[in-house]
A and B are shown apart, each in its own frame.
Chain A
Amino acid sequence: MENSENDYDLVLDRAIQGDEEAFSILYKDNVKKIYNYIYYRTGNNHEAEDLTARVFQRALNHITKYKKTNVPFSAWLYRIAHNLVANWHRDSNRRREVPIEDQINLRIMQDIPEKEIEKRQEIEFLLKTIRKLTNDRQLVLILKYVEDLSNKEIGDVLGKSEGAIKSLYHRTLLELRDVLNISGKKE
């Protein structure tokens, strides 16, 4: 365990010195995490691919300025991803486009049983509600459920203690429960 950590440290050192092969290892280790994070933040496969590419492009351009700390390297990538997603949200709010995936989904849904459609709509509504949470709260949920990380590991990424993550997660659940409850009553 300690050995692999040391190896990872060496790879990171080499990447910071501009070694492309080392950066390639970091890329392979993190690309799926970053893609998943962006996918759940944007809800769009094509945007996730485009933004993931931009995250790693930016990381590659600035890797030599990266300062090693106790926080894992992925935290830096998540931060870049967060900034790009925030810009994307700002720009797409300006454009107000209807995602193509939504239109395709509507067409596909015509061939699916009603119960299944209801289930999908429920999941979609839950995901849309999650996207309205603050960045920290979204990240906690994505890391916990998608990446299957423990509170301690999430704390490492966010630079917070295990207790703080536990409390943040609980508050996130309460907020989601309230929002979903209120929406349920309205419907």
Chain B
Amino acid sequence: MKEDNQLINLLEKKLDTALLPVDIEEKYVDQLRVRLFKAPLISVEKDNYLLIVSLICLSFITGLIFVFILSRMFSSNRKRIAS
């Protein structure tokens, strides 16, 4: 028991010498603070799915209208030729 306590005391002394506070550079602290609050130089662009879907829908509708107009034009031409 006494030996146990002695070992624990010895270990505590070792911990006392091993675990010392590490000094942090003031320059690093200041630079990090500036970096934290500075707007990032590189901005990450996120995909705007709503915009992409709207563009696809719009081009699809435009295509449909275009095909409809073309088909109307051809059908009126054919009627004219037939008559």
Contacts and interface: CB of A to CB of B under 8 A. Distances in A.
B29 A126 contact: no
A75 interface: no
Given A31-B29, A173-B12, A180-B11, A142 B36 contact: no
A52 B18 contact: no
A27 B12 contact: no
Contacts of A164: none
Given A28-B33, A52-B32, A126-B14, A142 B19 contact: yes
B32 A53 contact: yes
A144 to B, nearest CB: 8
B14 A177 contact: no
Interface stretch (A7-15, A32-40, A89-97): A32-40
B19 A141 contact: yes
Main secondary structure of the interface of A (DSSP, over half): helix
Contacts of A161: none
A146 to B, nearest CB: 5
A57 interface: yes
Contact of A173 (B11, B19, B22, B24): B11
Contacts of A127: 18-19
Interface in A138-187: 141-142, 145-147, 173-174, 176-177, 180-181
B22 A35 contact: yes
A47 interface: no
B1 interface: no
Contact of A126 (B15, B28, B36): B15
Nearest to A31: B29
A24 interface: yes
Interface of A: 20, 23-24, 27-28, 31-32, 35-36, 39-40, 48-49, 52-53, 56-57, 60, 122-123, 126-127, 130, 141-142, 145-147, 173-174, 176-177, 180-181
9 contacts: A24-B37, A27-B32, A28-B33, A32-B21, A39-B22, A49-B28, A123-B14, A127-B18, A130-B18
